[in-house]
Amino acid sequence: MPAPLADRIRPAILDEVVGQKHILGPGRALRKIIDSGEIPNMVFYGPSGVGKTTVASIIAKNTERHLVKLNGTTASTADIKDAVARIDTFEGINGILLYLDEIQYFNKKQQQTLLEFIENGSITLIASTTENPYFYVYNAILSRSTVFEFKPVEQTEIEKAVERAFSILSVERQQDIVPEEGVCRHISFACGGDVRKAMNAAELCTLACDGGEEEIRITLESARELTQKSALRYDKGGDEHYDILSAFQKSMRGSDPDAALHYLGRLLEAGDLPSACRRLLVCACEDVGLAWPQIIPIVKAAVDTALMVGLPEARIPLADAVVLTSTAPKSNSAYTALDRAIEDIRKGKAGSIPRNLQNKHYDGEDVQKKGQFYQYPHEAPYHWLPQQYLPDALLGVRYYEFGDNKNEQSFKAYWDKIKNI
């Protein structure tokens, strides 16, 4: 069985690597390290299909080191020791480069085993992970390694790679492969920055399209059919999940309904209805808040409806709620006031509750002036009268400041008038 196209045309030199110019371009850090031939222990961090394995292979070839590839999902401590054992063989005469893919699946004990061989110089480690290494990689390994972040490849770069893929397939099949206008561009968009996915799509399109003896025409319809939903990057519980949720709320907070709908769409296409609902409710309370408090029950009703009907119809009430939240006036005055109050409490600024606010109880003999002295506001004009509410230690402290929106300013005007009478 032939290897996938992405493996058959894997770049052999750095100049052929698609993307990653921020670390592999002329004069960039990783490029200079590789050209020096002195390879430190490294961690490659980034999404799948962006060149991490390819670059590790090129490093091994350039330095003439024996490359051992292991995967954290299947490898064991015995596999690590077996790789180290090759240091005394003809294979390891120039050193062993261990490429450990998906290191986040190694437990702490396994990672500690790696540490032993890193420290004594038996191996040079290049570990790769799709998760944030500062959360998933053992600190002792991180402290002895240099982290390089690989990013999703730009669409224009991938489009060139797709064109090259069709050219190579033409040579392999000894047939002209002619993609319709827009095919390469569509595949480059649909792969979501994943070069491997783009190569696989190009090969699938070639296999799926009928052709004559001399020519295969790749139709745009076929490309669309074979790349449905393939652009979606989503790993619930991973960085991408939290990045999308963050972008979703920040877009609503920033009053950009178009961006908010885009991120809502990504959540729903991934089937993550609960996360979309939860973040929408938080945004209504946190970011719209007292500027228009009526939005809270409105959004709650939309969320309840969405959860009741489920996908795909859930998108309808959620779209209404997202646009409403994005375009509503904003105020975070209430919850920031609470945060300031909690900050004082954590610093020990509290004090005894004023006697007039306490529950009715017997005054001890040590109390000079007995009685609660609470004044009932509803018995006063305008249902308000001045009395102490904060503890003595916090007299004069102000946590809440009226927001500059119409709603809160109308309340401010009302109370300014009442309290000045």
Q: Residues 172-207: pLDDT tens digits? A: 888 888 888 888 888 888 887 788 888 888 888 888
Residues 102, 130 contacting (CB under 8 angstroms): yes
Cβ atoms 211, 217 nearer than 8 A: yes
Say which range, 123-137, 227-241, 262-276, 291-305, has the weakest mean pLDDT: 227-241
pLDDT attached to residue 370: 57
Q: Which of 4-8, 221-225, 290-294 has the highest mean pLDDT?
A: 290-294
Residue 17 pLDDT > 70:
yes
Identify the band that residue 242 occupies on the pLDDT scale cut at 50, 70 and 90: confident
- pLDDT of 392 > 80? The answer is yes
Per-residue pLDDT at 237 exceeds 70 = no
Lowest mean pLDDT among 65-79, 145-159, 208-222: 208-222
Q: Is the pLDDT of residue 323 over 90?
A: yes
Digit-coded pLDDT (tens) for 50-87:
889 899 989 988 888 888 889 888 888 888 888 888 77
Let me know: does 44 contact 55? Beta carbons within 8 Å: yes
Q: What is the pLDDT of residue 368?
A: 56
Between vectors from CA 348 to CA 339 and to CA 350, what angle results, nearest 5°?
A: 80
Q: Determine the average pLDDT of the residues in 77-106.
A: 82
Q: Are 319 and 264 in contact (CB under 8 A)?
A: yes
Using one digit for the tens of pLDDT, what is the confidence trace for 351-386? 888 877 877 665 555 555 555 678 888 988 889 888
Nearest to 295, CA basis, from 251, 319, 326? 326
Residue 371 is predicted with a pLDDT of 57
Beta strand 176-179 pairing with 146-149: unpaired
Q: E strands within 91-167?
A: 96-101, 123-129, 146-149
Lowest mean pLDDT among 54-58, 289-293, 387-391, 417-421: 417-421
What's the confidence (pLDDT) of residue 409?
93
226 and 204 Cβ atoms separated by less than 8 Å = yes
Residue-level pLDDT at 232 = 53
Which of 185-194, 264-273, 342-351, 405-414 has the highest average model confidence (pLDDT)?
Answer: 405-414
What's the gap between Cα 349 and its chain centre?
37
What span, in angstroms and rounded, lies between the C-alpha atoms of 187 and 193?
Answer: 10
pLDDT grade for 229, boundaries at 50, 70 and 90: low
Residue 333's pLDDT is 93
Alpha-carbon distance values, 247 to 251, 253, 263, 278 (Å): 6, 10, 7, 14
Answer yes or no: is pLDDT of 251 > 90: yes
pLDDT confidence bin for 330, thresholds 50/70/90:
very high
- Main-chain phi, psi angles of 111, to 5 degrees: -65, -35
- Distance, in Å, from the CA atom of 233 to the CA atom of 46, rounded to the nearest integer, reads 12
Place 280 in a pLDDT band, splitting at 50, 70 and 90.
very high
Q: At residue 1, does pLDDT exceed 60? A: no
More confident residue, 418 or 357: 418
What confidence score (pLDDT) does residue 318 get? 96
Q: Rounded mean pLDDT of the chain?
A: 85
Going along the chain from its start, the domains and CATH numbers come out as: 20-149 (3.40.50.300), 155-226 (1.10.8.60), 239-327 (1.20.272.10), 350-420 (1.10.3710.10)
Gap between the Cα atoms of 170 and 218, Å rounded: 12
Q: Does the pLDDT value for residue 91 go beyond 60?
A: yes
Q: How far apart are CA 207 and CA 199, in angstroms?
A: 13
Q: Quick one: DSSP state of residue 382?
A: G
pLDDT at 286 over 90: yes
* Helix residue ranges, H only, 120-234: 133-136, 139-143, 155-173, 183-190, 195-208, 220-226
> What's the pLDDT at 372?
65
Dihedral of alpha carbons 57, 58, 60, 61, sign: positive
Please report the pLDDT score of residue 161 as a whole number: 87
Query: How confident is the model over 136-152, as a mean pLDDT?
Result: 88
How many Å apart are CA 323 and CA 254, to the nearest integer? 12
Q: Is the pLDDT of residue 236 over 60?
A: no
